[in-house]
Amino acid sequence: MPSRLHFGEDDFLRCRFAVSPLWETQEVARTLKRPDRHGYHAPWLRRAREAADALDLSGLWLLMPRRGHSPDWLSPPPVGPAVGFEDEIAVVRAADPEAAREDTARSLADTPGALGSPWGRAWLADPARMIAELADTLQEIWHTLVEPDWPRLRALLEADVAFHSRRLAEVGLGGLLPEINRRCGWHAGTLTVDSEGEHERHLSGRGLVLMPSVFSWPDVVTGFDPPWQPTLVYPARGIGALWSEPADHTPDALVRLLGRGRATVLTALTDPATTTALAHRLALAPSSVSAHLTTLRDAGLLVARRYGHQVLYERTPLGMALASGGG
């Protein structure tokens, strides 16, 4: 059944992109539970399996039904474009216990046996304790499984935002939304999403958060219920190559032309990325990467675009031609 989000005139002015480390953290837990999500992430799963097996996610998994409701309070949409995990988990810890209890009970009812489980009974009897326990679980997942790879994940998510922001400027919201994912359709001010559940909401001037995700693939998620801002979570572009390592060979001709450091940076910049993300990817000092990026930009091989507090670098057509034809 399709989900439908109805836009009013003011909603077009209140649409925004966001990246959420908290969302990726809870989606990592969901991915570990669901083999159908493993395809693109097999290299990461092989590397992370031992650490993942050491975590007890049984209780959290009760709140992740394959078909049904997951608690909105546990992963609320981010309030800004580049909010950090600690800021987001603080919002979770500050959740109203009674509202969280009602939201959790709705989710537990969608998982057979969950309401009567030890977790379900304990959480509904003491929602303040539930909030603390689940926030602690998410924080452990973040530090163990997500934070070590966050520069790489964030670079991919920010590249997706940069690409779709340009498309928004080119084709408008009605043209962009069907491009974001084949499950999305647009007609007469209504976004329809082909999904397993049915959800209908008039945005009523609140607009829409557009949020790319690495670990939600292949799902497209619509929600959240009031008081949260409506959100569309969709698989980010480029996840097929996310876990592949950068090429260990920079074309010799490009090295002779630019020098090894600048040639390596230009070759590695296959998608828009920040200085920090490139430094992490190439195991170089951020100061060295920054100097190379500045030189490449001044030479017309890169452009820099600001997104929130981040600056993304991407190759110009000339830079693309050099990087692809240097061998």
For a pLDDT cut of 70, what percent of the chain falls above it? 94
Instruction: Give the model confidence (pLDDT) of 7-50 as tens digits.
Output: 998 998 889 999 999 999 999 999 999 988 888 898 899 999 99
Count how many residues are written for the chain. 327
State pLDDT tens for residues 261-289.
999 999 888 777 889 888 988 889 999 99
CA 211/CA 20 separation, integer angstroms: 8
CA–CA dist 12, 197 (Å, integer): 25
Contact of 210 with 232, CB cutoff 8 Å? yes
Q: Domain 245-325: give its CATH architecture.
A: Orthogonal Bundle (1.10)
Q: Where are the domains of the chain?
A: 2-235, 245-325
Per the DSSP assignment, residues forming a β-bridge with 190 are 6, 187
Tally: H helices and E strands in the chain = 13, 10
187-197: pLDDT as tens digits: 989 999 987 66
